[in-house]
Amino acid sequence: MIFVYFLLIIIGFAVTIKGADFLVDGASALAKRFGISEIVIGLTIVALGTSAPEMVVNVYSSINGKDELILGNIIGSNLFNTLVILGIAAFIYPVTVKKASALFEIPYSLLATIVVAILANDIFLKTGNTNTLTRFNGFILFIFFAIFIIYIIRMTMKDMSDYDEGIPEMSLSKSSILIILGMVGLTLGGKLVVDNAVLVAKSLGVSDALIGLTILAAGTSLPELVTAIIAAKKKKSDIVIGNVIGSNIFNIFLVLATSAVISPIKFKESLNIDLGVLSLGGILLIIFMFLGKPKYVVDKKEGTILISLYIGYFIYMMIRM
């Protein structure tokens, strides 16, 4: 039976890769057609599309009371996005970040992690008797998401054009169909990979916490990974950074918020270490932006640092579990 699971995982990877290709091409063509910068497209359409697996998994987990899977999936996915996906993309081709992204979007992604840590640590901060992300906390996260959407709308109005002239002309209907097919491919392919990877893990006796932080996190981040690799190969830095940072923000301020509103989420203090590593990743990105040379670029050396940090964290996580 495990052979069947592995076969379905391979099929899932193939569908995801093709879906990412469609999404990047369609999104780039749409940006060119309307004169909207690719960073806006990356932060909205691409980020939302690649965050769909996290939303599906977390809503299902909320309904079934799987708190460890919910938090492990979100924290693990954002760690994978920041350290592995951005690291690999930078290793393929230096990721050039716009000044606006360095000043707002990357710090806002770091803020998302800090907000979750503050809201979840009720006992430590003496705001409650149990560490729980309540429904009220979920609505607070939604407010931060609304602020981010307002920022995107304002940026869309100010930041027109700035796209690659080499992008082929494409009709609105064709680019829209490619985006839709890409999102469907990413979602279905990602679900195939995640579902069957979890079945393999459970057959080997792996815990929910470990599944959430590793298999689910990497599996639901697969759309971001494939999209970032393809975008990096096509030298679409804005789509790479928009995809990664936008997905991180969506994951916490939309996906986690939705999960908390559906059902309050119990928070284990041990997850503070994971939030700490995620915060470190965000701090490193800010350092790369302003102290690295050249500024506003994540290059191969810095990408290697991010990947190395994840490898160290992964080894620690295996020992901890």
- Profile the chain (321 residues) by mean pLDDT over runs of 10 residues: 78 76 76 70 71 71 75 88 93 87 92 95 80 94 93 73 54 83 79 73 68 71 79 83 88 92 90 94 94 87 95 86 64
Domain 2-320 superfamily per CATH: NCX, central ion-binding region (1.20.1420.30)
Predicted pLDDT of residue 280: 96
Predicted pLDDT of residue 269: 87
pTM for this predicted structure: 0.79
- Quote the CA–CA distance of 149 and 151 in Å, as a whole number: 5
Give the number of residues written for the chain: 321
Tell me the C-alpha distance between 133 and 116, whole Å: 8
The span from the CA of 306 to the CA of 85, in Å, is 9
What stretch of H or E contains 132?
strand 132-133
Predicted local confidence at residue 191, as pLDDT = 73
Distance, CA of 163 to CA of 161 (rounded, Å) = 6
Where in the chain are the domains? Answer: 2-320
Is-contact 71 271, C-beta < 8 A? yes
CA–CA separation, 144 vs 304, rounded Å?
31
pLDDT of the residue at 165: 47
CB atoms within 10 A of CB 24: 29
d(CA 42, CA 211): 28
Pairing mode of beta strands 297-298, 132-133: unpaired
Cβ–Cβ < 8 Å for 278, 77: no
Closest CA to 238 of 42, 68, 46: 42
Q: Which residues of 133-148 are buried (b: 16+ CB within 10 A; e: fewer)?
A: bbeebbebbbebbeeb
Q: What's residue 50's pLDDT? A: 65
Coil, strand or helix at 312: helix
What Cα–Cα distance (Å) separates residue 5 from each residue in 35, 188, 196, 294? 44, 15, 5, 45
Model pLDDT, residue 119: 94
Cα R_g (the chain), whole angstroms: 19
The pLDDT of residue 194 is 67
Tell me how far CA of residue 132 lies from CA of 123, 264, 266, in angstroms.
9, 7, 4
> What burial class does residue 171 get, using C-beta atoms within 10 Å of its C-beta: 0-12 exposed, 13-18 middle, 19+ buried?
exposed
The CA distance from 237 to 166, in Å, is 15
The pLDDT value given to residue 218: 74
Yes or no: say if 25 and 234 are a contact pair by the CB < 8 Å rule: no
